[in-house]
């Protein structure tokens, strides 16, 4: 209450807080995007903050001024209670009462701008966190060398790089067998060494002839290592005991499906590796095998049967 008994008037509605908030947002976004944006945000924050404070403190900065004869105006008389005095203003007409008040407009504008500011702050952060998982996840075809490196009906352990420029972190291994010709075209079985239980490296159930390994530099800066394997009849996972037959079908242990495979193509007498895909089951062997092919799924994820319904949509691998 003032000395005269009147309630102090609050500051009038203002858009300065909105400008102040926009300046703060510019500062936060600028810390991610660029320093000039930070400078612009700081300037807006200072300007609108000053204007906001000036409006809020206007009533405290107003003091009575003396008249021309040096007499300071006396304090106003106590206000008459509202229930005892006449009406302060005439009753508004129905047309006037239906108009949209300024306070409602400012309230809606503030809430709307707040929502826009919240979107500006959150959408880029969510985008940077989520979108990269769905972009540029594939790789170019990988040149594994001439077909002569792969003997018919013999397995090899083949090491290669998904992205040679990125080094060892992209090194991968596949088990490759040349099945001979199928309809005048070379047929290959190319199985990934990633266990479909938890992703551990699967080992070949045969004699790995490391002394006969062959290194070859192919196109695209690719470094390929080919190691022959004798008597391969199965694959096993040393981590949790998963077992697969020679076509990659699960025969024991916790894996939920067959081993993943790679697509391939033959170009100018050379074997090129394509993208990986998941397999439900394989009927038959070698060139005559019938493969239940699915999009590449993560370890432990079912690709067929009712169990697949319990898995959310996965980003591309």
Domain 142-304 has CATH 3.40.50.10800: no
Nearest CA-CA partner of 262 in 271, 254, 251, 250: 271
**What is the residue extent of each domain of the chain?**
1-60, 142-304
**Which neighbouring-strand residues pair with 171?**
161
Q: What is the pLDDT of residue 172?
A: 93
Name the packing angle between helices 102-130 and 16-32 (round to 10°). 10
Indicate whether 91 pLDDT > 80.
Answer: no
Q: What letter would DSSP give residue 205? A: S
Would 1-60 and 142-304 be classified into the same CATH topology? Answer: no
Phi, psi of 292 (to 5 degrees): -85, 100
Q: Which of 101, 9, 96 is nearest to 58 (CA)?
A: 9
53 contact partners, CB below 8 Å, separation of at least 6: none
The string of pLDDT tens digits covering residues 21-30 is 888 888 887 7
pTM above 0.75, yes or no: no
pLDDT digits (tens, 9 = 90+) for 234-272: 999 999 999 999 999 999 999 999 999 999 999 999 999
How confident is the model over 262-309, as pLDDT tens digits?
A: 999 999 999 999 999 999 999 998 888 999 999 888 898 888 878 777
Of all residues in the chain, what percent carry a pLDDT higher than 70? 79
Give the model's pLDDT for residue 36.
Answer: 82
Name which residue leads in pLDDT, 314 or 234.
234
**Fold of the CATH domain 1-60:** Helix Hairpins (1.10.287)
CA 196 → CA 59, 105, 296, distances in Å? Answer: 73, 59, 11
Placement of tokens 């998904």 in the chain: 162
Burial status of residue 242 (CB atoms within 10 A of its CB: 0-12, 13-18, 19 or more): buried
């Amino acid at each position: 209450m003032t000395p005269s008994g009147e309630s102090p008037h609050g500051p009038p509605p203002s858009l300065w807080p909105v400008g102040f908030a926009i300046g703060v947002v510019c500062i936060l976004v600028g810390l991610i995007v660029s320093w000039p944006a930070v400078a612009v945000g700081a300037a807006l924050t200072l300007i609108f903050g000053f204007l906001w404070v000036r409006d809020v403190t206007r009533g405290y900065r107003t003091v009575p001024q003396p008249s021309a004869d040096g007499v300071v105006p006396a304090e106003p008389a106590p206000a008459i209670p509202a229930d005892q005095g006449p009406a302060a203003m005439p009753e508004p007409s129905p047309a006037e009462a239906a108009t949209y008040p300024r306070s409602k407009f400012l309230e809606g504008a503030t809430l709307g701008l707040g929502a826009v500011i919240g979107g500006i702050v959150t959408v880029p952060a969510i985008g940077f966190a989520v979108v990269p998982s769905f972009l540029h996840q594939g790789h170019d075809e990988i040149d594994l060398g001439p077909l002569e490196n792969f003997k018919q009906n013999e397995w090899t352990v083949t090491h290669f790089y998904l992205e040679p420029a990125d080094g060892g972190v992209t090194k991968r291994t596949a088990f490759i067998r040349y099945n001979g010709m199928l309809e005048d075209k070379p047929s290959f079985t190319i199985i990934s060494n990633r266990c479909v239980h938890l992703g551990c490296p699967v080992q070949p159930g045969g004699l790995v002839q490391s002394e006969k390994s062959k290194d070859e530099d192919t196109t695209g800066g690719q470094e390929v290592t080919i190691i022959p394997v004798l008597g391969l009849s199965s694959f096993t996972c040393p981590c949790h005991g998963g077992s697969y037959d020679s076509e990659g079908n699960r025969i024991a242990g916790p894996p939920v499906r067959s081993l993943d495979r790679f697509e391939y193509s033959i170009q100018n007498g050379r074997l090129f590796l394509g993208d990986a895909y998941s397999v439900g089951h394989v009927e038959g062997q070698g060139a005559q095998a019938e493969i239940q092919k699915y999009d590449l799924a993560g370890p432990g994820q079912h690709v067929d049967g009712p169990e697949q319904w319990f898995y959310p949509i996965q980003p591309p691998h």
